[in-house]
Amino acid sequence: MEWSDVRIFLAVARTGTLGAAARSLHLSHPTIGRRLRALEEATGQVLFQRTADGFVLTEEGMGVLPLAEQIEEGALAMERRLAGKQRTLDGTLRVTSADWFGAYVLPPVLAEYAASYPLVEIEVLTGTRLFNLAQREADVAFRIVPFEEQDTVQRRLLRMRYGVYVATASPDPVVGDGSGIRLITPDTFSGTFPDTAWLREMFPNAGVALQSNNRNIKAQMCAMGMGIAVLPRPLGDQVIGIRRLELGVEPPHREIWMGYHRDLRRLNRLRAFVDLAVKHLANSVFDASTELT
């Protein structure tokens, strides 16, 4: 059994369809189907049950799934170990973060890095999904929570300051109990956030105008005059059409963590990026540590 066949088996098991597996591996749909049939013929076992909703592991497939995952971990560990010994500053560097962080905090770091190391191709992956460092989905990640994955080298970069924003043309709201005020908050499926709880405490009787899991959308809707929003300072201070309200107290800060897999700690292109990130972001103007410690 080849490692490429194991990858296909795991992709189908995890996604449930040939199309989704093909997209995850950047292969064609027919190729996935052909290789999967060849694998089952080679092993003499039916590994998946074909259903109207997709592919479901059979008892035989469930039996070999843990072994396939062990093979995957060994292959990925070898890939990481070899990548970590690479000394030249070329290749690809994958960076992942939240949308707003990638759009409003990382650009100076990325620009200087690209100018200094033009042979390195940078990929920036943003969104709410936490990309897997062990599986090389990303080389370095920025998060607002500490990393829980094993074998991750992490560091707290800064305490990100947040602010309360309103459309530039809007008059200052009468704080009071929040009556007549409308808020822009995270969606209910994203969980609870300290800044959202703080905002509701500040304006207990305020209504909700919009909910979204995207900070950029909330900033733009705030600029449209839809309501008041709590935003990270790098985002809120740079978006045209909104201004920060001075309420005498700031929303809770959030800590920004940077992490990468320990097998890549000697990868020169990663080390260079980490050093630049620390240079630009540690003790930045948006760092609340000097005020809160």
- Spatial separation of the C-alpha atoms in residues 279 and 271, rounded to whole Å: 12
- Spatial separation of the C-alpha atoms in residues 177 and 184, rounded to whole Å: 17
pLDDT of residue 78 exceeding 90: no
Instruction: Band the pLDDT of 105: cuts 50, 70, 90.
Output: very high
Instruction: Say what the pLDDT of residue 93 is.
Output: 93
DSSP codes joined into one string, 11-68? HHHHHSSHHHHHHHHT--HHHHHHHHHHHHHHHTS--EEEETTEEEE-HHHHHHHHHH
User: Tokens in use for 223?
Assistant: 């600029």
Spatial neighbors of 166 by CB under 8 A, at least 6 apart, are 172, 173, 222, 228, 242, 243, 245
Give the CATH fold of the 162-245 domain.
D-Maltodextrin-Binding Protein; domain 2 (3.40.190)
Class of domain 91-159+254-292: alpha beta
- Spatial separation of the C-alpha atoms in residues 252 and 243, rounded to whole Å: 18
pLDDT of residue 290 exceeding 60: no
CA nearest to 79, candidates 91, 67, 89, 96 = 91
Higher pLDDT, 77 or 152: 152
Min mean pLDDT across 93-102, 109-118, 274-283 is at: 274-283
Instruction: Say what the pLDDT of residue 219 is.
Output: 95
pLDDT of residue 291 exceeding 70: no
Give yes or no for a contact between 235 and 100, defined as CB atoms under 8 angstroms apart. yes
Give the mean pLDDT of 216-235. Answer: 94
Instruction: Say what the pLDDT of residue 136 is.
Output: 82
Indicate the DSSP class of residue 190.
Answer: G
- Spatial separation of the C-alpha atoms in residues 79 and 136, rounded to whole Å: 9
CATH 1.10.486.10 fits 3-79, yes or no: no
Taking each continuous run of H as one helix and of E as one strand, the counts in the chain are: 11, 12
Min mean pLDDT across 135-144, 163-172, 185-194, 247-256 is at: 185-194
pLDDT of residue 155 exceeding 70: yes
Residue range 247-275, pLDDT digits in tens: 888 899 999 999 999 888 888 899 899 99
Instruction: Say what the pLDDT of residue 187 is.
Output: 79
Q: How would you classify the pairing of strands 91-97 and 140-143?
A: parallel
Calculate ∠ Cα 206-209-211, nearest 5°.
Answer: 110
Q: What share of the chain in percent tops pLDDT 70?
A: 91
Instruction: Say what the pLDDT of residue 292 is.
Output: 33
Instruction: Say what the pLDDT of residue 293 is.
Output: 27
DSSP codes joined into one string, 239-276? STTEEEE--SSPPPPEEEEEEEEGGGTT-HHHHHHHHH
Calculate ∠ Cα 66-141-136, nearest 5°.
Answer: 35
pLDDT of residue 63 exceeding 80: yes
**91-159+254-292 shares the fold of 3-79:** no
Q: How many CB atoms lie within 10 A of CB 168?
A: 13
Instruction: Say what the pLDDT of residue 123 is.
Output: 95
Q: Is the pTM of this model over 0.75?
A: no
Where are the domains positioned within the chain?
3-79, 91-159+254-292, 162-245
